[in-house]
Amino acid sequence: MSESKIKAKPKQKRKATYDRGDRVAERPISRPNITTNQELLNKYKKQRIGTVVGHRYKTNKRGSRECFLQIQWDHLSQPSEHAQHRICHLSKLKELTNDACHAIG
């Protein structure tokens, strides 16, 4: 019998979802409110908004490459690095926030 050779496709780098200059926000997290104190609610309800200044790929322990974004938050002086799946476009923030609130019940 003859063996059929399977050609492996060359690995292509997956394109980053966000480009430099995109306005982004942290993806909202659904957390139950256990207090009615408005001061405490405002303290822990801060939403970070910033601009993408770059991105880089890191290899995880399974060997797959993940995209990390370097984001310049509006309230900080230096950029910080975040996983791409933890970030959303600023235009989709309101919709995702409503979905997170409805997930709690």
Question: In which band, very low, low, confident or very high, does the pLDDT at 31 lie, cut at 50, 70 and 90?
Answer: low
CATH class for the domain made up of 23-29+40-104:
mainly beta
CA distance 67 to 83: 6
pLDDT for the residue 80:
94
Asked if 87 and 18 touch (Cβ cutoff 8 Å), the reply is yes
Instruction: Name the helix (H) or strand (E) containing 59.
Output: strand 49-59
As a whole number, the mean pLDDT across the chain is: 80
Q: What is the mean pLDDT of residues 86-91?
A: 91
pLDDT on residue 68: 93
Chain mean position to CA 87: 2
Q: How confident is the model at residue 8 (pLDDT cuts 50, 70, 90)?
A: low
pTM attached to this predicted model? 0.68
* Domain ranges across the chain: 23-29+40-104
- Max mean pLDDT among 32-46, 61-75, 86-100 falls in 61-75
